Structure 1
Amino acid sequence: MARERSRQSSAEPSEMSPLLSDAGSSSHGGASNAPVAQPTSGLHRSLSARQVQMIAISGTIGTGLFLGTGKSLAEGGPASILIAYALVGFIVYVTLLLLGEMATQYPVAGSFNAYATRFFSPSYGFALSWNYWFNDAVSMAGDLTAAQLVLQFWGVERGWIASLVFWVFLVGTNSINVRAYGELEYWLSLLKVLTVIVFIILGILVNVGVNTDHHYIGGHNWHIPEAPFVGGFGGFAKVFVTASFAYGGTESLGITAGETKNPSKNMPRVVKFVFWRIILFYVLSILIIGLNVPWDYPNLSNRSTTTSPFTIVFQQAGSSAAASFMNTVVLTSVLSAGNHALFAGTRVLYGLATATPRQAPPIFAWSTKQGIPLPALLLTSSISALCFGASFVGSGELWGWLQNIVGVSNQLAWLSIGLASWRFRRAWQQQGRALTELKFHSRWTRHWAPGFVIVAVCFLIIVQGWSSVIPHFVAVDFVSMYVEIFIMITMYVAYMLLRRPDPVEPTRPGADTGEREAPIRRRVWYSDLVDTKTVDLTRDEYEEEEEDKHDDDKREQRLGSGRWRLLWRLWYLVV
C-alpha cells in the first residue's frame, strides 16, 4: 500500500527535530503544537560512511577496554570478567540491532531519545534525554580523569594540567565542523584498531613463553589463590557495571544518523559489523588479559591509580619502549572517547532545544553556519570540570565513581531502546504494516529481541549493586550505582505532573441558560503512554536522494566487475 513519506533534508533543519518530541496521539490526547525552536543553520549531513564506521568502532574501543578492564580484573577475577563482558556484549549487540532498525527508518537528531519519546512516552523521553546528556558530559569528565591515571605511568605529577590541555583541544576541534570531528575520530580509531590487533598477537606470544621470564604461562593465573572468581558472586556482579561502562557509546552511533550520508544503507552496514567487533576487540582481548595478568598485580586498581592491562602485557614482552607506546595509545583512546562523548552530548542537548514542546532553553538550538550547536557544545564541555576533583579524592577512586554513574546510565539507554522498539514494532503491526517493509530488519530477533533486552538490562541493574549492600552497606558505592535511576524517575514524574492536561468545564445538558457545572478537579496522575494505534509512522521516514543513489551505483559498479573488484571488496571491508 502506497504511503506518503516525508523527505528529510539537511538544508532544512526544522525537519530534523520533530521526531524528538513527537508522541503521536496518546490515550489522553496528542502532543503539543508549540512552535519548534528554529536554529540558525541546523546540522549538516557531512559524515561519510568511512567516518561513521570508525565512529561505531570508537564507541566499542575506548577507555573502558584499555583501562577499565584492569579494575574489572582486580574486582572479579579472570573468569568473572570474561563471562560478564561476553554476556553484556551479546545484550549490546541485540540492542544495536533494534536501534539500527529504527535509526534506518527515521534517521534524525536525537536517536533513541527521540524514539522513546515518539513511541513510548513524552515524559519518559524527556527524562531519558537529559539523563543521556548528563551521561555524555560525565563521560568526558571520566575520560579526562582517566588521562591523569594514564600519565602516572611516566611519573607525571600534575596531571590536571594535561587534562586542561586536552579539554581545550577537544572543544576546539568540535567547534570547527562535523567533518573535523569525524576525521579526528577516524584516525584515532584506526590507531586503536591496529593496536588491539597487535596486542592480541603479542598476548598470545607472551602466554606461550615469549616473555621476560621465558616460561609458558598458559592458564596459571586462573588457578592462583581466590581466582578465577575473585570476591565470589559479589565480585562477579560488580563487573557488570564496569562492562556496561566499557561498552557504552556503541548506542550513540544512532545519534550520528542525523548527520550521516545515505543512512538507509550506511546505518545497517555499521550495525551488522558490531558483533564481530565485540568478538574480536573485547572477548579475545579480555581472554588474553585474564590469562597473562594476575588479578592481584600491583597497582592494577586502587584508590590512587589504575594501570592498563594492555601496558602490562607489553611490559611482559620485555620492551619498555613498547610499553610506553602502548600507554601512548591508551592516552589517544582517552582523547577519542572524550571526543566521542562531547559530540554525542552536544547533539542530545541540541535535540532537546529543537523539540516540540521545547525541552531545553532555545539558546541551545542555535548553531553556526558550519552546523555546530556552539552553546550546547560549551555547556556539555563545562561539566568536565568534575575531572579536576581528582586531586581531592584520588584519581583512581574518582574514576571508579564516574565509571559506575556512566555504566548505569548506559544501561538505562539500552533499556529505553528496548522499550521504544517494543512499542514501535507494535505500532507498525497494529497499523497494518509488515516488519518486512522496514528498510532494515533482523529476522532472527523478530519475536523476542525487545523483551529480551528489557528483562536482561533490568537484571543487570538490580544484580550489579550486590556488593554495595551485602555483606555490608557501602553508601558511596550504592549511590554511585543507583543515583542515576532515582534522578531519572524524579524527572519523569515531575515532567508528567507539570504537563497534565488542564481540566475542562463541560456544559450541562440543555445549557441554553448559560449555567455551567463547577470545574472538574485536575487529576493528580495521568499517563502519557503513546497510543500505538494512532502514532504517525510516516513522518520523518527517509527517502534516498539522488546523491545517495549515485553513491550506491558507484559502489555496486566497483564491487560487481572489473579487475580491481577484489581490492575494492577488501577496501570496503576495512574502511
Structure 2
Amino acid sequence: MSQNDHGQRPDSPRKVSQEDVETGSFVDHEVPVDALPVPLVDKHHGLHRGLSARQVSMIAIGGTIGTGLFLGTGRSLAQGGPASMLLCYAIVGFIVYITLLLLGEMATQYPVAGSFNAYATRFFSPSYGFALSWNYWFNDAVSVASDLTAAQLVLQFWTPWHSWVISLLFWVFLVVVNSTHVRAYGELEYWLSSLKVATIVVFIIIGILVNVGVNTEHHYIGAHYWHIPGAPFVGGFGGFARVFVTASFAYGGTESLGITAGETKNPSRNMPRVVKLVFWRIILFYLISILLIGLNVPYNYPNLSNKSTTTSPFTIVFKEVGSTVAASFMNTVILTSVLSAGNHALFAGTRVLYGLAVTHPNPQAPRIFSWTTKSGIPLPALFATSSVSILCFGSSFIGSGQLWGWLQNIVGVSNQIAWVSIGLASWRFRTAWVRQGRSLDELKFHAKWTWPWGPPFVVFTTSALIIIQGWSSVIPKFSAVDFFSFYIEIPIMLFMYIVWIALRRLPGLKRILEDSATETIVDGGTSSITSIVPKRVLWFDLVDTSKVDLYADEHKDDLVDRIEDQEREQRLKGKWRWPWKVYYLIA
C-alpha cells in the first residue's frame, strides 16, 4: 500500500500533536494509546503532572512509614508503655483516615498546588490559610532537619564517628534529586518505599517468630512485657497523653497526598484510588507492627530513648533473632527510610512555598518562589526549604536524641494543626456546595458515610489532642523546654494570622480615617463639612459560603486522562483482566 507525503500509511492512526491537544481537534475513540503526545507542559513553565498512580500511592506510604514508625515507636514505648502506644496509634490512625477522606473530596475536585492550604484559604479564611501555609512549610522544612538528625541516631548503631558528615551528604543528595524532574523524585520515592513495605512484611513475620520462641533465649515471650513493673501504661495519664504527639508525628505525611494532586496524572481517577486504598495499608502496617513491638521489646530496654540516643525497636527485634547481619540489614533499611522521609518532606515543603507564591489574586509569598524551570521545578522554593535543614547540625551541641525529640514534638503538633485545618476547610466546602444548590452527584469523589459528622469530628477530636498531649510538661513538674516544643506552633499561627489580616486591613483603615471628614457641595453653591462615620474594620475574614466560586479550578479530564481511562477499562475487560486487577490493586 502506498504511503502519503509524510511517509505515513493512509490507514494508520495519525499521531496527535501538542496543538491537537490544546485545540481539542481530535476524536477520542479514534486515538490509539501509542498516538499520544508527550505529557502536557505549561508554556509558561509551572508544575508538571508527572506523577503516576503507583508513584503517588507509594509517596503516601513512604511519607508516613519513616522515622516516626522506625524510631518514634521507641520513644513512644519508653514514655507511654505498650498499651498506651497501641491505643494512641489506633485513635490517631482513625482520625487521620477520616481526615484523608475529607481531603480526598476536595483534592479530586480541585487538584491544585498547595492543596489543603489552598482549600483553607478558599473556603474558610484567607488569613488563616496564610498562617496555615507558612506553618506547614515550616513543618516540612523542620521535618527535613528531623530526618537528617535521625540519620545520625541510626548511624550510632555502627560507629560514633562524626555522623554529621553523612547528614550533609544526604542533604546534598536530596537537593540534587529534587532539582531535576518530578519523575526523579517520584521514582526514588517509589523504590525506597517499596523496600520499606517489603521490610515491614519481613519484620511482621520475624516479630511473630521471636515472640513464640525463635529468639536468643529460646523461650516463649507472649505478653510477658505487658506485665513487668510499670507496664502496660507507663507514666500514668501523662505518659498516655504524651504518646499522641509522637503518633501524630508518625502519621504525618498522609495529608501531603493533596499536595501531590497538582502534579498527579488523571487526578479524577487516581486520587480517589489512592485515598481509599493506601491508608488501609498504612493502618495494617502500623498497628500490627506496633503490637509486635510492644510484645517483643520491654519499655525499659537500655538506650531505647534518652537525650543522647534513640534505638529502633525494629533493630532490637531483628537482633533478638540472634543474627548481627539481620540487625545491620534492618538498620540499613531504616537509614534508607530516613532518606525517603527527608525526600518526601523536602518535596512537600517546596510545593507549599510555591503554592503560597502563586495564590490568586493576592500572593502570600514573594513572587520569586513561583518561578520554575522548564522541567517544572520551583528552584527558589526548593533552596529556601532545604536551607532550614541546617537545624540538624545543632545535634552536635545538645545531643541527637534530645534534639530529635524536640523536633518530633514540633512536627507532630504541626501535623495536627494541618488535620484540624482540613476539617475546617471541608466543613466550609460542604456547606458551600449544599448552600449553592449543587448536587452531590457532581462530586468526583464522595465519601458518603462521613456526611455530615466527618469535619466536626476531625476538628474537635484533633483540637482535644493538641490541648491534652502536653500534660506531662506541666504536671507533676513544669518543663519549659518541653512545654515550648508542644505549644509553640499555636502562638506562631496566631501571629501569622494577625500579620496577614493587618496587611490586608490597614490600608483600608487608613483610607477610612482620611475620609472621615469630607468637603461636599450643597445646593446654592456653598460648601459644608459632612462627618462620615468610619466603617468598622473587621479582624476576621471568614469566607461567605454562599458566594465562593465552586467552579474555578475544577479538574476537567483532558485527552491524556481519557485515553488512560480507556486503556484501563480495556485491560480490565480483556483476556488478562485478572492479572491487571491484581496489578492495579498492588501498584
TM-score, with structure 2 as normaliser: 0.90
Name the CA shift for 1:511/1:178 in 2 (closer, same or farther; >3 Å).
farther
**1:517 pairs with 2:521:** no
- Counterpart selection for 1:269 from 259, 268, 273: 273
Root mean square deviation of aligned Cα: 1.8
**Residue of structure 1 equivalent to 2:347:** 343
Residues 93, 274 of structure 1: 8 Å contact kept: no
Whole-angstrom CA distance in 2 between matches of 1:463 and 1:435: 37
Whole-angstrom CA distance in 1 between matches of 2:138 and 2:586: 33
Structure 1 segment 449-464 matched on structure 2, within 5 A: 449-464=454-469
- Larger Rg, first or second structure (1 or 2): 2
- Counterpart selection for 2:106 from 99, 102, 105: 102
- Counterpart selection for 2:151 from 139, 147, 151: 147
**1:68 pairs with 2:72:** yes
**Residue of structure 1 equivalent to 2:584:** 572
**1:156 pairs with 2:160:** yes
Deviations 1:360-383 (A, max 9, x none): 111111111111000110010000
Name the CA shift for 1:157/1:511 in 2 (closer, same or farther; >3 Å).
farther
Name the CA shift for 1:203/1:538 in 2 (closer, same or farther; >3 Å).
same
Residues 47, 182 of structure 1: 8 Å contact kept: yes
Deviations 1:435-474 (A, max 9, x none): 2321001111011000000001011000100000111110
Deviations 1:172-226 (A, max 9, x none): 0000110100000000000000001110111011101111111100000000010
**1:183 pairs with 2:187:** yes
Structure 1 segment 285-296 matched on structure 2, within 5 A: 285-296=289-300
Which letter does structure 2 place at the counterpart of 1:63?
T
Whole-angstrom CA distance in 1 between matches of 2:489 and 2:412: 10
Give the secondary-structure state (helix, strand or coil) at the position aligned to 2:584: helix
**Residue of structure 2 equivalent to 1:218:** 222
**Residue of structure 2 equivalent to 1:136:** 140
Residues 130, 364 of structure 2: 8 Å contact kept: yes
Structure 1 segment 129-528 matched on structure 2, within 5 A: 129-355=133-359, 356-500=361-505, 501-502=508-509, 503-504=511-512, 505=515, 515=528, 517-518=530-531, 520-521=533-534, 523=536, 525-528=538-541
Structure 2, unmatched stretches of 5+, are: 1-18, 23-41
Q: Which stretch of the first structure deviates more once superposed, 56-65 or 233-242?
A: 56-65
Whole-angstrom CA distance in 2 between matches of 1:525 and 1:296: 54
**1:557 pairs with 2:570:** yes
Q: Which stretch of the first structure deviates more once superposed, 348-357 or 72-81?
A: 348-357
Q: CA deviation at 1:416?
A: 0.2
Residues 520, 530 of structure 2: 8 Å contact kept: no
Q: CA deviation at 1:432?
A: 0.3
Give the secondary-structure state (helix, strand or coil) at the position aligned to 1:517: strand
- Counterpart selection for 1:548 from 531, 536, 561: 561
Whole-angstrom CA distance in 2 between matches of 1:326 and 1:527: 51
Q: CA deviation at 1:508?
A: 9.2
Q: Which stretch of the first structure deviates more once superposed, 496-505 or 186-195?
A: 496-505
**Residue of structure 2 equivalent to 1:41:** 45
Whole-angstrom CA distance in 2 between matches of 1:351 and 1:39: 18
Q: CA deviation at 1:524?
A: 5.5
Residues 105, 440 of structure 1: 8 Å contact kept: yes
- Counterpart selection for 2:94 from 69, 90, 96: 90
Deviations 1:303-352 (A, max 9, x none): 00000000000001111101000000000000000000000000111111
Q: CA deviation at 1:561?
A: 2.8
Which letter does structure 2 place at the counterpart of 1:160?
W
Residues 192, 333 of structure 1: 8 Å contact kept: yes
Q: Which stretch of the first structure deviates more once superposed, 478-487 or 430-439?
A: 430-439
Q: Which stretch of the first structure deviates more once superposed, 439-448 or 502-511?
A: 502-511
Deviations 1:49-106 (A, max 9, x none): 1111111111221110011000000000000000000000000000000000000000
Residues 63, 340 of structure 2: 8 Å contact kept: no
Whole-angstrom CA distance in 2 between matches of 1:520 and 1:39: 50
Residues 59, 253 of structure 1: 8 Å contact kept: no
Residues 132, 348 of structure 1: 8 Å contact kept: yes
Q: Which stretch of the first structure deviates more once superposed, 333-342 or 361-370?
A: 361-370
TM-score, with structure 1 as normaliser: 0.91
Deviations 1:116-147 (A, max 9, x none): 00000000000000000000000000000000
Give the secondary-structure state (helix, strand or coil) at the position aligned to 1:154: coil
Residues 40, 368 of structure 1: 8 Å contact kept: no
- Counterpart selection for 1:532 from 545, 563, 567: 545
**Residue of structure 1 equivalent to 2:5:** none
Residues 60, 277 of structure 1: 8 Å contact kept: no
Whole-angstrom CA distance in 1 between matches of 2:444 and 2:281: 23
**Residue of structure 2 equivalent to 1:35:** none
Whole-angstrom CA distance in 2 between matches of 1:551 and 1:301: 49
Give the secondary-structure state (helix, strand or coil) at the position aligned to 2:156: helix
**Residue of structure 2 equivalent to 1:23:** none
Residues 497, 524 of structure 1: 8 Å contact kept: no
Residues 244, 469 of structure 2: 8 Å contact kept: yes
Which letter does structure 2 place at the counterpart of 1:85?
Y
Whole-angstrom CA distance in 1 between matches of 2:545 and 2:322: 61
Q: CA deviation at 1:251?
A: 0.2
Whole-angstrom CA distance in 1 between matches of 2:522 and 2:412: 60
Name the CA shift for 1:216/1:123 in 2 (closer, same or farther; >3 Å).
same
Identity %: 72
Which letter does structure 2 place at the counterpart of 1:485?
I
Residues 497, 525 of structure 1: 8 Å contact kept: no
Name the CA shift for 1:508/1:342 in 2 (closer, same or farther; >3 Å).
same
Which letter does structure 1 place at the counterpart of 2:581?
R
Structure 1, unmatched stretches of 5+, are: 1-8, 13-37
